Amino acid sequence: MVRSIKNPKKAKRKNKAKSGDGSSSSSAHSMPTKVWQPGVDKLEEGEELQCDPSAYNSLHAFHIGWPCLSFDIVRDSLGLVRTAFPHTAYFVAGTQAEKASWNAIGIFKVSIFLLRKVAHEGCVNRIRAMVQSPHICASWADTGHVQIWDLSSHLNVLAESEKEVSLEGSSISNQKPLMKFGHKDEGYAIDWSPLVPGRLVSGDCKSNIHLWEPTSGASWNVDATPFSGHAASVEDLQWSPTEADVFASCSVDGNITIWDTRLGKSPAVSFKAHKADVNVIAWNRLASCMLASGSDDGTFSIRDLRLLKEGEPVVAQAVSSSDNQLTIWDLSLEKDEEEEAEFKAKTKEQVNAPEDLPPQLLFVHQGQTDLKELHWHPQIPGMIVSTGGDGFNIIMPSNIQSTLPSDVA
């Protein structure tokens, strides 16, 4: 299989007409374009990057007023595997407004743009929708509170409405949360169980993790005694996709810890995962032995948890960075020099890529600044949604198969 790397940016030189030199403004359009190679090519004075639409099956950008640090895709009833355009998608997101009183949870529908807002005390550090009941969402605030919300009325209105609204015209509801729990500090880590409806874990910057168990009605019991084992802030949490009582956490202390709620509040397994802060983990929903992690040092790793006892569970490792790029990787690919040479001969394209360019790098998306979070759409194969300092992007790269399994690490 030939390694396919499509980059959505092209470099185009602009010629500046000089008085008396006989050049015209149309000469700029005759200059050839070339594929922009991040980390290889440099922009010269007068050059700019332009998006190549052919690299995408779909590309949209939008914002909801204030930047959003976190968002989640709301599962809907429109179909489990949707491939036909036009697509419709629902989201929840939390704002990072200039003033605390201006923050809100945004509930929105993208096909035409529809938005409803719920007032939120403090900036939203992270927001997650329950898998089994997507209208129930949990939000982490910088005030140190985790809150549970029932957003069903807003989603119902969006589903029935076909009239596009402006951001200025969208009012804010002062709806009260179903539940509110105060940690000793703010935090970012939160996850709903995919196996037990309503079961939740939340972790804070004081290294404490609390378990939420649903009770009858719209209420939860939060265990006041936290899970304790990390030496620094808990950055992310992930429930096992196959074991109802098992979840994983990662921390600024560089460790990943596996917990079993049946064994008390101490770790079942803990290991050093990276040399720097571990900011994010993702448990593979199709191969539950695989756990991905990303670190402040720019590396991300894939581990086979079955190999933990053997001391070397890392099965794949790569380097990325905070460079305003969204990269997609296919870890099943290996470099095939014969096929690559044959491909270059057919296309007659000379790619001056560095020798150490990973063959697993499948796609590079640029154009957003200060990227914060991204998710595969669980019902629309090949669709990725990302949020950054300048708003949201929805992309469907043209070299990603439409049969790509969704919601995997």
How far is residue 406's CA from residue 386's CA, in Å, rounded to a whole number? 15
320-346 residue pLDDT tens? 666 788 888 887 777 777 777 776 676
Residue 322 pLDDT: 67
State how far the Cα of 136 lies from the Cα of 128, in Å rounded to an integer: 9
pLDDT for the residue 320: 60
Q: What is the pLDDT of residue 16?
A: 33
Question: Is residue 370 situated within a structural domain?
Answer: no
Mean pLDDT over 147-171 rounds to 83
Instruction: Provide mean pLDDT across the span 242-253.
Output: 98
Separation CA 141–CA 404 (nearest Å): 34
In a domain, 184, yes or no: yes
The band of 356, judged by pLDDT with boundaries at 50, 70 and 90, is low
Domain count, the chain: 1
Instruction: State mean pLDDT over 72-84.
Output: 95
pLDDT-based confidence at residue 31 (cuts at 50, 70, 90): low
Mean pLDDT for the stretch of residues 356-367: 80
pLDDT in tens, 262-287: 999 999 999 999 999 999 999 999 89
Give residue 384's identity as a one-letter amino acid code: I
**Judging by DSSP bridges, how do beta strands 255-260 and 269-272 pair with one another?**
antiparallel
Distances (CA, A) of 153 to 150, 371, 373: 8, 30, 26
Per-residue confidence band for 32, with pLDDT thresholds at 50, 70 and 90: low
| CA 307 – CA 212 distance, rounded (Å) | 30
Q: In the chain, count H helices and then E strands.
A: 2, 30
Question: Is 90 exceeded by the pLDDT of residue 252?
Answer: yes
Asked if residue 132 belongs to a domain, the reply is yes
Residue 11: predicted pLDDT: 31
For residue 162, the model assigns a pLDDT of 78
* CA terminus-to-terminus distance, the chain: 22
Question: What is the pLDDT at residue 26?
Answer: 39
pLDDT of residue 18: 34
**What CATH code is carried by the domain that includes residue 73?**
2.130.10.10
For position 49, what pLDDT does the model report? Answer: 77
User: 395, 56 in Cβ contact below 8 A?
Assistant: yes
Please give the share of the chain, as a percent, with pLDDT higher than 70.
82
Cβ atoms of 12 and 47 within 8 Å: the answer is yes
Q: What is the mean pLDDT of residues 70-78?
A: 96
Question: 170: pLDDT confidence band, cut at 50, 70 and 90?
Answer: low
- Residues pairing with 113 in the sheet: 110
Q: Is 79 left (phi over 0), alpha (psi -120 to 50) or beta?
A: left
| Both tokens assigned to 179 | 């539940």
Window from 39-43, 112-116, 138-142 with minimum mean pLDDT: 39-43
Residue bearing the bigger pLDDT, 295 or 47: 295
* pLDDT tier at 191, thresholds 50, 70, 90: very high
User: Is 53 inside a domain boundary?
Assistant: no
Confidence class for position 34, pLDDT limits 50, 70, 90: low
Q: Does residue 29 fall inside a structural domain?
A: no
Q: How is residue 227 annotated by DSSP?
A: B
209-248 in b/e form (b: 16+ CB < 10 A) is bbbbebeeeeebebeeebbebbeebbbbbbbbbeeebbbb
Report the pLDDT value the prediction gives residue 326, as an integer from 0 to 100.
Answer: 87
Which whole-number Å values give the CA distances from 145 to 69, 139, 186, 317, in the listed order? 16, 8, 7, 35
**Residue 120 near residue 114, CB atoms below 8 Å:** no
Closest CA to 63 of 104, 101, 106: 106
- What pLDDT does residue 25 have? 38
Give domain status of residue 207, yes or no.
Answer: yes
Residue 306 in this model has a pLDDT that exceeds 50: yes
How confident is the model at residue 218, as a pLDDT? 87
Residue 409 forms part of a structural domain = no
Among 99-113, 114-128, 238-252, 301-315, the range scoring the smallest mean pLDDT is 301-315
pLDDT of res. 359:
78
Mean pLDDT of 128-137: 97
Out of 212-216, 308-312, 368-372, pick the least confident.
308-312
Biggest CA pair distance of the chain: 83
Determine the pLDDT at residue 195.
97
What's the chain's average pLDDT?
Answer: 84
Residue 127: CB atoms within 10 Å: 26
Show the domain range for 275: 66-363
Q: 22-26, 97-101, 237-241, 302-306: lowest mean pLDDT where?
A: 22-26
pLDDT digits (tens, 9 = 90+) for 211-237: 999 997 789 999 999 999 999 999 999
pLDDT of residue 406: 46
How much of the chain exceeds pLDDT 90, in percent? Answer: 61
Residue 27, in any domain of the structure: no
